[in-house]
Structure 1
């Protein structure tokens, strides 16, 4: 079942908004062998199925239970969907294994998805981890900032 680029984009929005904003990783929108090519904290989490998606969403929702995803830009063509997004939340649970800071954090990134038969087949994400570490005070801001 081949969908239009607009339909593929709508599925991605539905999946990512449900996952990040409510914690519901919609397995019905993932292909059974979906691959998440994520790199979080310098560690690859590539594995087939929903496990990696659940791990990453769970990790950030544990750290920031009030996290809210906002999709800033959408680009889609054929079987590819690209979103530039931001996550906003309060670090009450400790981000990426660090102690809770109590700070409001804005995390930004870009996600590329490959769709197949109306489902998410692959995902790649680039996340501004340096900006996150600077907000947490782990890394100093750039000179003059």
Structure 2
């Protein structure tokens, strides 16, 4: 069965909104050998399957139990889906291995997904880690910033 770009986008919306807003990874929307190419915990090679998806989503849900994603832009064509998003949550569990700050954090990113037969086959993410580290006070803000 062939899926339209619109159908692929709808599947991605369902997967990512459910995963980030509830912490539930919908394995039925992932191909068996799906790969999340995000580098987490120093891993240099992503392992196929739902494990890498569960790891990154679980890591952020532990750090910010009230995390919420807002989709800002959606672009889709062929087997590719691109979302620009914003995540907001309260750092009560420690983000990226740091002590909990108690701060409400907001960071943005872009996710690109390759779909295959109506399932997520690959995911790449670019996240504003510098902005996140500045909010945590680990990296100083740029000169003249408040």
Structure 1: 5+ residue runs without aligned partners?
none
Matches within 5 A, 1:1-145: 1-40=1-40, 43-44=43-44, 46-145=46-145
Shift of 1:47: 1.1
Distance 1:93 1:116 in 2: 35
Aligned-partner SS, 2:53: helix
Does the 8 A contact of 1:36 with 1:45 survive in 2?
no
Aligned-partner SS, 1:44: coil
Structure 2: 5+ residue runs without aligned partners?
none
Shift of 1:107: 1.4
Give the structure-2-normalised TM-score.
Answer: 0.96
Q: Number of paired residues?
A: 145
CA deviations over 1:59-112 (Å, ceiling 9, x no partner):
000000000001100000000000000100000000011000000000110000
Aligned-partner SS, 2:88: strand
Shift of 1:53: 0.2
Closer, same or farther in 2 for the Cα pair 1:70/1:44, shift >3 Å?
farther
Which consecutive segments of 4 or more residues in structure 1 shift more than 4 A? Answer: none
Closer, same or farther in 2 for the Cα pair 1:77/1:49, shift >3 Å?
same
Query: Which segment drifts farther, 38-47 or 13-22?
Result: 38-47
CA deviations over 1:12-41 (Å, ceiling 9, x no partner):
000000000001100000000001110246
Closer, same or farther in 2 for the Cα pair 1:135/1:42, shift >3 Å?
farther
